[in-house]
Amino acid sequence: MHKRALGAAAVTGVAALALSACGGSSPTTPSDTGGAGTSKATSSGVPETPSGTAAPVRDANVDLVIWTDADRSKAVQKYADQFASENGVSVKVQIATDTRTQFKDATKVGKGPDVIVGAHDWLGELVQNSTVAPVNLSSDVAAKFLPNAIAATKFNGQSYGVPYAVENIGLMYNKDLVPNPPKTMDELVATGEKLVKEGKAKQVLSQFVSKVGNAYFAYPYLSAFPDGGIFATKDNGDYDPNKLLVNSAGSVKGGDILADLGKKKVLSTNVDDTNQDALFDTKKAPFMISGPWSVAKAKEAGINYGIAPLPSLTGGGAMKPFLGVQMFYVSSKAKNAALAQEFVTNYIPRKDVQLALFEVGKRPPALKEAYDEVSASDPDVKAWYEAGVDGKPMPNIPAMNSVWGPFGQATADIIAGKAGAKERLDAAAKEIAANIAKG
Amino acid sequence: MTKPIALAIKWVLIAAAMVGILWIATRLAAAGNTMAVVIAGLVGMGILAVYATRRAVPLKYLVPGLLFMTLFQVWPVLYTANLSLTNYGDGHLYSKEDSVKDIIAQSVREVPNTPRYKMSIATAEGGDATTADLVLLLTKPDGTMYLGDKTGLKPLAATGVEKTSIGKITKAPGYTVLNARQANARSKDLSAIAVPTSDGGGVKPVGLSEAFEGRATVTFDAGADKLTDTSTQPPSVYAPKDARWVNVADTTQSFPQGWKENVGLANYSRILTDDTIRSGFLKIFIWNVVFAIVSVLSTFLLGMLIALLFNDPKLRGKGIYRSLLILPYALPGFVTALVWKGMFNQDYGIINQTLGLGIDWLGTDLGAKAAILITNLWLGFPYMFIVCTGALQSIPQDVREAATIDGANAFRTLRSIIMPLLLVAVGPLLLASFAFNFNNFGLIYLLTKGGPFNGQDTSIGSSDLLITYAYRLAFSGSAPNYGFAAAVSVVIFLLVALMSIPGFRRTKALEEVN
């Protein structure tokens, strides 16, 4: 009985989707790998696709095995081929449908890949299970990345990979209904309610709440207040699982806002992953709080959308979203550790590689130089980046697994008016602490 | 006498079985599992003894069934029971020695203010690339070159040395530079290399072309069984506690890497003593039984009624209707459940919109339970329809005619003739359906995730089944605890088994109708 994958994906809802970066990004068809795959050592220029959802089977005859999701596979393959011909080795890129779980399970029995592509919040769990190896980037290379992206690759002060993209949620608005994005939540509600009254919209804001709540989307309401959030940080920058902020004074203020918005029907537990995008894309809601994964659908629906930072809340500051960082990990049980380290430390920090990965994912690149180039020509990327510029990386400590369920449910109950913010967040904090204590 | 062909087939099959077992045994031996190899051998001998001789005729029929039962029924149950006696789970996957090794390896930090070297991997000239001692050819950022081996760093004379533009040495007299593939083949040796430096660190390779000076900040004292982390001031000491390395001075701090160990019956005593489990168990158990029984009865009644309807010889186009009715069964249950979830949405769902209702289906206790039962009825009735149709067609027409001649009306025929005969065939399937629905994880998880959650915590939902509850219980901590989950599974297994016994007794009674 292995439902871990289902659990992780379902509990974190869209957050998990977003972080595994398969959250509805458009089925891109990058140009063919061209002549890069002509090296004799490389057996093929196309990523190996899995049959069904089973984990890929490791090919024992190649010198480097990389697991990635389907979206990124073509871009990774191109540079894997280049790496292969440059070093006279063979590299195989394989598509894993659920990299997090499949990597952990395969590594346990000695059949795992050498390199995986994944989200930074897997890190604590991977370290806990001794599945990833430290990746020692030199300080001058590390300085070329966005500081938040580098911070996200660290756990207990050790660095475990090379980042390539950053993503976060922001405010999407329908330019046909709202010419200028609101700066504050009050302004957003006033504008939205006016549109609803005029019959131009049915719902003020579309935000994933659902009956069981969504911690990822509720967090920014808490982080808008000083000392509001989930975990406090230690001196070394790591989140401290023993210092919960879920029921701090700031968090409760954020909770009061959730309650108020719930009462006004701006937030509703009836909006969830199944209808969030549809509400915005059918012009029923002029505003949506979502991430880059929603853009393709809005474009397809012909919505004249704009992207703005999350609004600020009365009595607090701007809502600060969680940052999700995409990165390359090296397996601690890698059969080809030397080549794996070489590929990750020398190839992924390259601008052209980061740009290629941007093309397939459309998330702001983690390498400053690549971000600068992309943001100059792509206003969406710039807007997403700016929406997340004050955000903090999502906690990558294993204790975060204890937070998603209880914290999400608490916010859903507050929005539904089932309980007051203070008492409900107190109860959630108690439950989370008990879960963390279970280990 | 046995015909020669049959004899030949028999021996070919026996040989095939032997080859198969040999193949499995070699794979097991390669994996280093001695016990399993012995068992495979015994099974092989058993097969020979049973089939190659003329003795033990009943066993000849029973052996395949016994083997598969052991493999797919007994073994998983034993495995789960065995697992339930351990703390196996995330952070407790490997042995204690592995955890020490891993913690030390992960604690290597770059020594501050040390240079990064460009590096090539080489052996002494003429050495075998696969076995000879490795040396590192290093270039400092300022261009000075070193030779690094296990004794330390030595200057490398510049004569005859060739470098790339970034300073990586490609040729040095007296040494053979390994190519990427050769160097990679030595990955194990490379990870062990640490060229000692004067300040107590070691120059270690990063990949194939760079090296840094690092130092492990954690040391292990095997005698005292303690880890010391020197990266903090003062150094922190970690001692083993509950299968983890816990900081002696501050017990809230521990290394994430723990180890697997036997915990005896601790998982079971946790089930019995946990407050939330005790308070919520009865409530969940009752709903679980109600859910399973109502699901079976409702799907069976609807399926049977439709089957009876479509069994009428006068009805035309039966094939089309039947195919249409099977559709809900043919669609993947996951998709259907999610579609129903959308339809039950309070504001945007088609059910409330068409009926003009404002029921919060998924947000209230009764609503959620009703929604689950309705969805399960939709998902389950086609199966009952199929089996009832099959069973009905096997009831001889003359029995019904006899009933009609005896003056029984349609209802009486149904009650006294058709139902008993139908139940004989369908009874065991109803039991199986009960057991399946008792553990219908997917439906609950996709529709309500066990919710709505009343009160102040998320440990017990009002539509939880034991299995979804157990899932949350085992996986709600920081890390999945498979040992504990296994213990809960064993308990559920025992419950289902106990409840099924009277059921099977009853089906035996039904069979006596024949």
Q: Which of B253, B247, B288, B258 is nearest to B436 (CA)?
A: B288
- Better-scored residue on pLDDT, B159 or A403: A403
Residues of A in contact with B210 (CB under 8 A): 138, 345-346
For residues A187 and A233, state if they share a domain: yes
| Amino acid B489: pLDDT | 86
| Amino acid A395: pLDDT | 93
In whole angstroms, give the CA distance from residue A233 to residue A299.
39
Q: Which of A359, A377, A393 is where one domain is finished? A: A393
Query: Residues 274-293, chain A: which have Cβ within 8 Å of B?
Result: 274-275, 279
Angle between helices A404-416 and A249-263 (to 10 degrees): 50
- Does residue A215 sit at the B interface (CB-CB below 8 Å)? no
Whether the predicted pLDDT of B85 surpasses 70: yes
Per-residue confidence at B512, pLDDT binned at 50, 70, 90? low
Residues of A in contact with B102 (CB under 8 A): 130, 332
Question: Do the Cβ atoms of B204 and B193 come closer than 8 Å?
Answer: yes
Mean pLDDT (whole number) for A315-325: 94
| SS3 category, A260 | helix
For residues A281 and A401, state if they share a domain: yes
Whether the predicted pLDDT of A372 surpasses 60: yes
Q: Has the ipTM of the complex gone over 0.85?
A: no
Question: Do the Cβ atoms of A374 and A170 come closer than 8 Å?
Answer: no
The percentage of residues in chain A with a pLDDT greater than 70, rounded to a whole number, is: 87
| Amino acid A25: pLDDT | 33
In whole angstroms, give the CA distance from residue A298 to residue A308.
15
For residues A138 and A58, state if they share a domain: yes
For residues A90 and A121, state if they share a domain: yes
Mind listing the pLDDT tens digit for each residue in B387-421?
999 898 888 888 888 888 888 888 888 888 888 88
Domains and CATH numbers, chain B: 4-83 (1.20.58), 94-107+221-259 (no CATH), 109-216 (2.40.430.10), 271-511 (1.10.3720.10)
Residues of B in contact with A346 (CB under 8 A): 207, 209-210
CATH number at residue A379: 3.40.190.10
What the block records as the tokens of B135 is 């040396």
For residues A212 and A353, state if they share a domain: no
Mind listing the pLDDT tens digit for each residue in A209-234?
998 899 999 999 999 999 999 999 88
Helix (H) or strand (E) holding A406, with range, is helix A404-416
| Amino acid A16: pLDDT | 34
Q: Which of B184, B180, B182, B204 is nearest to B193 (CA)?
A: B204
| Amino acid B52: pLDDT | 84
For residues A288 and A160, state if they share a domain: no
| Amino acid A2: pLDDT | 40
Contact state of A1 with B481 under an 8 Å Cβ cutoff: no
Query: Nearest C-alpha of chain B: how many angstroms from A307?
Result: 26
Per-residue confidence at A13, pLDDT binned at 50, 70, 90? very low
Query: pTM value?
Result: 0.81
Mind listing the pLDDT tens digit for each residue in A118-129?
999 999 989 999
For residues A184 and A258, state if they share a domain: yes
Mutate which of B251, B348, B464, B493 to test chain A, going by most A C-beta atoms within 10 A?
Answer: B348
- Does residue A157 sit at the B interface (CB-CB below 8 Å)? yes
In whole angstroms, give the CA distance from residue A180 to residue A307.
10
Mean pLDDT (whole number) for A251-255: 95
For residues A317 and A328, state if they share a domain: no
For residues A136 and A216, state if they share a domain: no
Mean pLDDT (whole number) for A158-179: 94
For residues A11 and A100, state if they share a domain: yes
Phi, psi of A57 (to 5 degrees): -95, 125
In whole angstroms, give the CA distance from residue A273 to residue A237.
32
| Amino acid A135: pLDDT | 93
Mean pLDDT, all residues of chain B: 87
For residues A226 and A237, state if they share a domain: yes
Name the domain count of chain A: 2
Containing structural domain, residue A425: 170-323+396-438
For residues A21 and A137, state if they share a domain: yes
Mean pLDDT (whole number) for A54-80: 83
DSSP A48: B
